[in-house]
Amino acid sequence: MSSHIIIIIICSEHAYSAVDSNPLSIYVMHPFWNLVVKFLPTWLAPNLITFTGFMFLVLNFLMLAFYDFDFNASSAGYQHVPSWVWVAAGIFNFLAYTLDGVDGKQARRTNSSTPLGELFDHGLDSWACVFFVATVYSIFGRAESGVGVVTLFYILWVVLFSFILSHWEKYNTGILFLPWGYDISQVTISLVYLVTAAVGVETWYQPVIFHLLYRDLFTFMIIACSFTVTLPMSLYNVLKGYRNNTLKHSSLYEGLLPFLSPFLLFVLSTIWVIYSPSNILVLQPRIFYLMVGTAFANVTCKLIVCQMSNTRCQPLSILLLPMTAVVVLAITRVFTNETLLLYLWTAAVVLAHIHYGVSVVKQLSNHFNIFAFSLKKPNSD
């Protein structure tokens, strides 16, 4: 089935269904967002709000890339990131989180809710994962008291895995169960950025208690949240659907199909990390994370399209085929300049993902006869 036909199916059949049971979200953030949305002009398009919030996270990533490209700035003996950058990062992160919370409310307020808004929101969220993780990493860095680049690579995958779990749930149950960890992490990290500006990164070198360092607490919280909260809740919701005979996909193979491409992406990227002749992750961690996170977002966006259109998830993302060739070229030393190869492949992945996103947005906009970033209606011929 062509991508254009799938988009049309989305328009005709999709109805958004989500459950948010997080107490922080219900009792604190939603009342706050309900207040904030009242100050937004009614001509402001929800998708523009979504995109602005996403760009705040990209801006954070670029700011820290300028001051801490190799994740060494928080280490002793290196010039630290200026305090104003951490203040800006905290404000921008909270603004991004707030805008992500009010875009849907603005859509309902202006009677402009469409499947495009859902796809745009969750699609950008999938890409935001890597920008969020890489920016937070600069707090601790890769020094002895920080987090190693390889460890961070696997932590990034834990975050990506947690994200796709929610959409795997919806692919099988038809309902998006919003993860608890998201709201808690966004509020906490926004505060941590501001605290870092006030007390300096040296504070995070000190143990929390006994010999437990903050980097250990950081790692433990991410892994624990994923495997003791997100994963069990996802499995519970899917098993509940199985018991009630309400799952969309009856066979185990079809139900697990959304994990195939992300798993292959994990395997390919891990092979590159382990067998890299030049130890590429140590040389270019930021670019490698960006490549992995963007490729993951591309795979996830296609899953979101499938779940919204009630169509079968494609077993293999086409992006993984050239990536396999790239990894082979790298680990066999056929392409000797591994850093250049990584930069070229990362550029290709980013451009391919942007092209895919723009194409989908154009198709939906044309079908609905709307502008993606404006509430004005196009002139009808």
Q: What is the DSSP string of 272-330?
A: HHHH-TT-HHHH-HHHHHHHHHHHHHHHHHHHHHHHHHT-PPPSS-TTHHHHHHHHHHH
| Amino acid present at 352 | A
Could you give the CA distance from residue 37 to residue 229 in angstroms, rounded to a whole number?
Answer: 30
On whether the CB atoms of residues 43 and 375 are closer than 8 A, the answer is yes
Residue 106 token pair: 């603005």
Location of structure tokens 């749930």: 169
**Beta 18-19 vs 212-213: how paired, if at all?**
unpaired
C-alpha gyration radius of the chain: 21
Q: What is the DSSP string of 6-52?
A: HHHHHHHH----EE---HHIIIIIHHHHHHHHTTS-TTS-HHHHHHH
On whether the CB atoms of residues 279 and 334 are closer than 8 A, the answer is no
Residue 209's H or E segment, with its range, is strand 207-209
Candidate list 4, 14, 122, 249, residue with the active-site label: 122
Residue 18 backbone dihedrals phi, psi, to 5 degrees: -145, 150
| Amino acid present at 204 | W
**Active-site residue, 80 included:** no
CA within 13 Å, CB half, 47: 20
Residue 38 backbone dihedrals phi, psi, to 5 degrees: -65, -20
Residues marked as catalytic: 122
